[in-house]
Amino acid sequence: MENPMEMFDVIVIGAGIMGSCTAYQTSKRNQKTLLLEQFDFLHHRGSSHGESRTIRATYPEEYYPKMALKSETLWREAEEQIGYKVYFKTSQFDMGPSDNRALQAVISSCQKNSIPVRVLDPISVFQEFDGLIQLPEDWVGVVTEHGGVIKPTKAVSMFQTLAVKNGAFLKDNMEVVEIIKKKDDELSGGGVLVSVKSGEKFWGKKCVVTVGPWMKKLVKTVTSGVVLPIQPLETTVIYWKIKQGFESKFTIGNGFPTFASYGEPYIYGTPSLEFPGLIKIPMHGGRPCEPADRTWAPTLTLDPLKQWIQERFGGLVDSTKPVMTQSCMYSVTPDEDYVIDFLGGEFGEDVVIAGGFSGHGFKMGPIVGKVLADLVIEGEAKDVELMHFRIERFEKNLKGNLKNFDDQVSSAH
Ligand SMILES: Cc1cc2nc3c(=O)[nH]c(=O)nc-3n(C[C@H](O)[C@H](O)[C@H](O)COP(=O)(O)OP(=O)(O)OC[C@H]3O[C@@H](n4cnc5c(N)ncnc54)[C@H](O)[C@@H]3O)c2cc1C
């Protein structure tokens, strides 16, 4: 007689930061959890690999800061459990023209969320950062204490390790090709049947899909036709050389912040940390592609970035050419807000999806994992209002949530 198939409480598909945090959360709550990954664990073909991601609470949208603060607490809790650090704290510095609507919205969303914020003129910015950052006369700088750098590959590995410690099962080189809703009767037992390319099948009461840039493709396949507006983009991480003698000035130890510059292009960066003497300064956005058809080549023209570096860092960073570039993937929605929802249709509330993190999801991994665990275990999210993340927003308006600023959104499309 054939062995009856083992049943999992939760099957999580995709082991980037979102899937790894979810597997950690569900296993912590005594759910028998299986995490499936199509490639090797900790591979470099998705969005969650590399050496640095910014954590910040400064967002023009009022619904992200509280999520970021909750995530900050969960990052610290996980670090305490594992016994090593993945999160290196510094302040966050946002800058841009004083009439930039997104930057103005950042200031008011901090205030509404009770996040202490200091708005500085160019002279005060120069003094605040030891003469390292120079702003034009009509710009302002915005300082908050909730900034820092997270080490992505190390952080994903941390959550996978914690999930295993909680009893989760992790399997890599398992490309999921089909998810079928099982009939909800005594004979079939309900839930979902997940099949991988090699032919193996896994049975779960619930399923969470966190497949990053592959989301549109997988959802279309398993639903026979639902097309989510989540566009994969190929983007480039760029490192620049700090001029000799100034290397230590741009470090967290010297109080250098994580930073973002509003306007076109939207530029962001982290203090010198992972590669001594180098500083990461990329641009938001990239080239639309399918994950299987990537060029792995730099995606954007660098002239505006070179000029920005020269002007903002007073010649202390060599802006003539980058010293290193790395390829990475974004999954972008039209409004750059996340998609966190039940898949619906024939799957009802048995399958939950989370994607479209639009280049700003990493910091939120721990809180997103908690929300996804809530959705599959309790049927509702406790810590986060999901209104802005529902799929149905695109049925009402193809562009999704309405915003009265457009910097970040326009640069990615
Ligand atoms: C260059 C760059 C800079 C960024 N900077 C920041 C930042 O400073 N701050 C911040 O908060 N965020 C940042 N982000 C965004 C953040 O990294 C992403 O939002 C986050 O990593 C998304 O994680 P994910 O788990 O959704 O996707 P992924 O990491 O892509 O994980 C999805 C996983 O699913 C697997 N998968 C796909 N299909 C299948 C299948 N059929 N079967 C099994 N497995 C499958 C994939 O192989 C992959 O491992 C940045 C992103 C990039 C690329």
Place of tokens 């230590």: 248
Q: Residue 107 carries which DSSP code?
A: H
Pairing of the two strands 33-36 and 169-171: parallel
Residue 339, C-beta contacts closer than 8 angstroms, at least 6 positions apart: 215, 228, 230, 333, 353, 354, 355, 356, 389, 390, 391
Nearest C-alpha to atom 51 of ligand 1 is from which residue? 359
d(CA 23, CA 35): 6
Q: Given this model, what pLDDT does residue 300 score?
A: 83
Q: Residue 283 carries which DSSP code?
A: B
Q: Check the CA dihedral 222-362-18-38 and report its sign.
A: positive
Taking only the tens place, the pLDDT of each residue in 142-198 is 999 999 999 999 999 999 999 999 999 999 999 999 999 988 776 677 899 999 999
Question: What six digits make up the tokens of 159?
Answer: 């959550």
Q: Identify whether the C-beta of residue 234 lies closer than 8 Å to the C-beta of residue 325.
A: no
pLDDT tops 60 at residue 370: yes
d(CA 236, CA 314): 24
pLDDT tops 50 at residue 410: no
Question: What six digits make up the tokens of 219?
Answer: 């959802």
Nearest C-alpha to atom 41 of ligand 1 is from which residue? 176
User: Strand, helix or coil at 282?
Assistant: coil
Ligand 1 pocket residue status of 334, Cβ below 6 Å = no
Looking at residue 54, its amino acid is: T
Q: Which atom of ligand 1 is nearest to the CA of 49?
A: 29
Question: What six digits make up the tokens of 36?
Answer: 């499936």
Q: Given this model, what pLDDT does residue 90 score?
A: 98
If one residue of 211, 230, 270, 289 were mutated to test the ligand 1 pocket, choosing by the most ligand atoms within 8 A of its CB, it would be: 211
Mean pLDDT over residues 13-39, rounded?
98
The Å distance, Cα 285 to ligand 1 centre, comes to 15
The Å distance, Cα 129 to ligand 1 centre, comes to 32
Looking at residue 9, its amino acid is: D
Ligand 1 pocket residue status of 179, Cβ below 6 Å = no
Ligand 1 pocket residue status of 207, Cβ below 6 Å = no
d(CA 285, CA 43): 22
Question: What six digits make up the tokens of 380?
Answer: 């509702």
The Å distance, Cα 334 to ligand 1 centre, comes to 17
Mean pLDDT over residues 324-332, rounded?
96
Enter the pTM of the model.
0.97
Taking only the tens place, the pLDDT of each residue in 39-97 is 999 999 999 999 999 999 999 999 999 999 999 999 999 999 999 999 999 999 999 99
**pLDDT band per the 50, 70, 90 thresholds, residue 411:** very low
**Based on the number of CB atoms within 10 Å of its own CB, is 84 exposed (0-12), middle (13-18) or buried (19 or more)?**
exposed
Q: Identify whether the C-beta of residue 370 lies closer than 8 Å to the C-beta of residue 383.
A: yes
Ligand 1 pocket residue status of 233, Cβ below 6 Å = no
Taking only the tens place, the pLDDT of each residue in 119-140 is 999 999 999 999 999 999 999 9
Q: Given this model, what pLDDT does residue 186 score?
A: 67
Ligand 1 pocket residue status of 58, Cβ below 6 Å = no
